[in-house]
Amino acid sequence: MFPDGSVEIMPTPAAVRRAQELGLDLILVAPTAEPPVAKAMDYGQWQYEQKKKQHEAKKKQHVIQVKELKFRPNTDDHDYDFKKNHAIRFLQEGNRVKAVVQFRGREIAHVDLGKKLLLRFAGDLASVGTVEGQPRLEGRNAHVLISPLKAGAGPKDPSKTKEPENSSGSSAPRVSGPAVARP
């Protein structure tokens, strides 16, 4: 492809010669295509454009981080609510949350309190995130991972969705596709 808009199929040496006549470089755009596609343009300008495209793509992407919230088995309600609100904000931003209950000293004898706390935490965040597995105990810490809900997923409000009615007026679900007989 040449700057004047002409597209030709020609041997490589002829294409290089024509690009040099125009004072440009021959850049391979799609080397795996059949025949390979090349473009006559300034190589420095092409590098600049590629760098600019990569920079724009990098600006638009979101890196998912794992935010960790630490609890103790006897965490007070106010502290729990405060950390729960932080977790909701983290999940709405698209980050994952790792809730950790640390056991110190004799607290390790009451692992059940820590697991109850994590299950309560996971239940409270069910509207904004999904739990990845059950609370696990590793050493003196119990933890659970919570991921944000997908963009289209989430708890549906049945009052806002209305199913289309069949032409027959019945409330039975409409079945499409070939009929299948099942025993």
Instruction: Give how far Cα 73 sits from Cα of 99, 138, 154, Å.
Output: 12, 15, 30
16 alpha-carbon distance from chain centroid: 44
DSSP states along 52-119: HHHHHHHHH-----EEEEEE-TT--HHHHHHHHHHHHHHHHTT-EEEEEEE--GGGGGGHHHHHHHHH
What are the pLDDT digits (tens) for 6-60? 787 888 888 888 888 888 888 888 888 888 888 888 888 888 988 998 888 888 7
Which amino acid is residue 92, in one-letter code? Answer: Q
Phi (first) and psi of residue 54, to 5 degrees: -65, -40
**How far apart (Å, rounded) are the C-alpha atoms in residues 179 and 171?**
19
Angle at 62 between CA 55 and CA 153, to 5 degrees: 140
Under 8 Å between Cβ of 132 and 147: yes
What are the pLDDT digits (tens) for 54-71? 888 888 777 778 889 999
Considering only CA atoms, which of 127, 99, 98, 103 is closest in space to residue 113? 103
Angle at 17 between CA 16 and CA 23, to 5 degrees: 90
Grouping H, G, I as helix, E, B as strand and the rest as coil, residue 11 is coil
User: What mean pLDDT, rounded, does the chain reach?
Assistant: 80
**How far apart (Å, rounded) are the C-alpha atoms in residues 156 and 153?**
8
| Residue ranges of domains in the chain, CATH in brackets | 12-59 (3.10.20.80), 66-148 (3.30.110.10)
Return the C-alpha torsion angle 146, 152, 157, 158, nearest 10: -130
At 1, is the pLDDT very low, low, confident or very high (cuts 50, 70, 90)? low
At 151, is the pLDDT very low, low, confident or very high (cuts 50, 70, 90)? low
Stated as kind and residue range, the H or E segment containing 138 is: strand 129-138
Grouping H, G, I as helix, E, B as strand and the rest as coil, residue 162 is coil
Name the one residue in this structure whose structure tokens are 């989430």: 154
First CA to last CA across the chain, in angstroms?
A: 63
